[in-house]
Amino acid sequence: MIDRETVDRIYAAADIVEIISDYVTLKRKGVNYTACCPFHNEKTPSFIVSPAKGVFKCFGCGKGGNAVTFVMEQEACSYPEALRMVAKRYHIEVREREQTEEDIRRNNDRESMFALNGWAADYFVSYLCNESEGRAVGLSYFREKRLLTDATIRKFGLGFCPARGDRMTKDALAAGYKSEFLLSTGLSLKSERDGSLYDRFRDRVIFPVHNISGRVVAFGGRTLRTDKQVAKYQNSPESEIYSKKRELYGLYFAKRAIQQQDVAILVEGYLDVISMHQAGVENVVASSGTSLTTEQIRLLGRFTRNITVIYDSDAAGIHASLRGIDMILREGMNVRIVLLPDGDDPDTFARSRTTEQVREYIRSNEQDFLDFKAHLLIAEAQGDPIRKAALISDMVQSIAQIPDPIQRSVYIKECARTMDIDEQILIGEVARKRLSSTGDRETDDFVRRQTARRREEQAAATPSVPPAAVEVQPAARIEAGSSVPALERELVKDLLKYGHRSFDFKEGPNLVPCNVAEVIFGELDEDNLHFTDPRYDRILETYREQWRQLGSGVEVPVHYFLNHIDPEVCNVSVDLLTSDDNYVPSELWKRKEVHIESDEEMLAVGVPKAVTLYKSKVIERLIREEQAKLRNEELSDEELAAIMRQLTHLNAIKVTIANKLQRMIL
């Protein structure tokens, strides 16, 4: 377990903008930064990063947290793992207390798999460079046949696995790594004959696959044999740390260049990426031989909205890959296509040209997807009306994937011009395909916009009844039907945002000075109540501890909650503290002299009402629990009498609370 002092040092060093920029392209907006959210698909940025507060928040999907919890989400790792990753980035030594048996038991298998993969990557590199077999077979292949420099070989961590069937496995076991992780990572396979382990990648050159933060999650191995019975490539299987549909080969090395150039170049294989990087074109990634997936496209979408796909001149391969274009369009990305000269693939093309020649060829030969499809397929349809109709239908299918209506309209016009067809027919076809595939109805959008406009006009005409959006102030918005979780959430939010604030509570004809934290803690302590949601209860106890030390009326710093040792507390604190950040009272109400209550006025009503209503709900629940006990026919007389006494006590409290609540409502 990482000690608290080390955790504090990690949080103090972590630059949230710097860390999130490794995963998402951030743009400065005032004192904050914005981006399209990496946690859900969106076209308009609603993801906000506040360097002053050290938090992020998406106002679209609701996710929020700090630098460490962001890494947790992106890497799908545990809180201690995320802390170690951030600590490593800032060269902070992680001190841990002696682990208990429970800590050891809960140690995530993922970390063991990452550690084994890291060892294996170093092992393959060492074997390539230091062993005679590795140098004679692997290194000569990379240097002489693929013309890779030693710097490129080192950059991508290329290696070689021994030809002897189980050498790597035995060396891993000798180094202390467990057979269960050799199998779960796919580095080793088990013989059906005798159950012994042997190397999956034996006698192959090795391409390690890095995730977005640079950790090795998988390997690809290429055989150098000419035997057709042997598969050219072997790849790691899916595992706890590797999902091929969520990884892009080379993204770790390409993400900076993609951000800087605002375009990603998509190729097919490992060597295509490596040769392009060596040629000086570094904004290149590959889908690693697998079909392009939505997850991979969205991963690229964190860094750019522009994708250039490079195809070689193999017609069969091009036709098979066309569905990837539609997938890119469906995600709201801009896609262009480059077709290489006959006989070239990205690997051979990059090796035979200078950096400037490669870049110039891409610039001068990239085509819009519509032009590409037209030029590719129109020759096949020449003079055949049926095939031409099929071509137009194919182009319409692609246009229908585009989510932006303006962009769709432009492409419809272009398609009508290129294919010499009535634009209105294309509009109808695109609408029909969108309706059948996405359920999108353009007219429904228009009606919704008109309805919203009418509501705005009505609201402006009757400002004395502000719209529901105004109800974002403290707990005064709580209604009698609110659930216990909703009430707990409101009370914790009021505590975090207003705990140090004072207000005058009207008790009969008198005004009683009150403090928000004192009211909440006093009412809960009166009946020894604790929140049912453990996250809220931990916030309550953390606040109480600091409040006692600082004294009533002193604001408790939010970093106690935003950088809490419990990542769930961090996330919910960000959510609570940012939930009303976008609220600004309408200038229209001010011009119309509509009274907008101050925080103190809202607190004076909201906090006492919320905490009293919460107590009422809890008491009602306790009464139901006691009443349920009465259904037990095996109760003794003593047990029955105890339950009745408790019910009498609870009902008396219920009456008191009800009377108090009624006075508040009146």
Distance from the Cα of residue 628 to its chain's centroid: 44
Question: Are 196 and 227 part of one and the same domain?
Answer: yes
| Ramachandran class of 29: left when φ > 0, alpha when ψ lies in -120 to 50, beta otherwise | beta
Residue 271 within any structural domain of the chain:
no
> Does 460 fall in a domain?
no
Give the tens place of pLDDT for each residue, 245-278.
889 999 999 988 998 888 999 998 999 999 999 9
Q: What's 201's domain CATH number?
A: 3.90.980.10
Q: Measured between alpha carbons, how far is residue 252 from residues 210, 231, 580 in Å? A: 7, 27, 36
DSSP 563-582: T-SSHHHHHHHHHHHHTTTT
Q: Which two tokens stand for residue 123?
A: 């092992």
Final residue in a domain of this structure, among 242, 258, 284: 242
Mean pLDDT, range 585-591, rounded to an integer: 45
**528: its two tokens:** 């020894």
Looking at the fold, whether 130 and 100 belong to one and the same domain comes out as no
Does residue 263 fall inside a structural domain? no
Last residue of a domain, one of 106, 124, 156: 106
Same domain, 114 and 101: no
Answer yes or no: is pLDDT of 492 > 80.
Answer: yes
**Of residues 437 and 250, which shows the higher confidence score?**
250
Q: Is residue 422 part of a domain?
A: no
pLDDT value at 220 more than 50: yes
567 shares its domain with 625: yes
**For residue 613, which of 660, 546, 551, 554 has the smallest C-alpha distance?**
660
* Cα-based torsion angle of the residue sequence 647, 653, 659, 661 in order, rounded to the nearest 10 degrees: -110
Closest residue by Cα to residue 313 from 361, 233, 366, 376: 376
Looking at residue 388, what is its pLDDT? 80
Question: Are 644 and 499 in a shared domain?
Answer: yes
540 and 495 within one domain: yes
**The residue to which tokens 């060269």 are assigned:** 91
Read off the pLDDT of residues 178-196 as tens digits, 9 standing for 90 and up: 999 999 999 999 998 888 9
pLDDT at 320: 58
Mean pLDDT of 104-117: 76
- Overall domain count for the chain: 3
- Res 446: pLDDT: 37
Q: Hunting for tokens 């309408």 — which residue is that?
A: 586
CB-based contacts of 101, cutoff 8 Å, min separation 6: none
User: Of 106, 137, 164, which closes a domain?
Assistant: 106
Domain contains 429: no
Asked if 522 and 497 sit in the same domain, the reply is yes
**pLDDT value at residue 30:** 86
Strand partners, 64: 57
Query: Mind listing the pLDDT tens digit for each residue in 30-52?
Result: 889 999 998 887 778 899 998 87
On whether both 648 and 635 belong to a single domain, the answer is: yes
pLDDT of residue 582: 42
Most confidently predicted of 116-120, 640-644, 658-662 = 116-120
- Overall average pLDDT of the 283-292 stretch: 83
- Look up the domain containing 81 and give its range: 4-106
- Is residue 66 assigned to a domain? yes
CATH of residue 24's domain is: 3.90.580.10
pLDDT tens digits for range 549-564: 887 778 888 888 888 8
| Residue 410 resides in a domain | no
- Residues 56-93: pLDDT tens digits? 999 888 888 999 999 988 876 778 888 988 998 888 88
Q: For residue 105, what pLDDT is reported? A: 46
- Together in a domain, 575 and 511: yes
Same domain, 565 and 651: yes
Mean local confidence (pLDDT), 119-128: 96
Mean pLDDT of the residues in the chain: 82
Beta strands in 253-344 (DSSP E): 264-267, 284-286, 306-311, 334-339
Say if residue 69 is in the same domain as residue 40. Answer: yes
Report if residue 56 sits inside a domain: yes
In this structure, are 572 and 626 located in the same domain? Answer: yes
Check if the beta carbon of residue 296 is closer than 8 Å to that of residue 305.
Answer: no
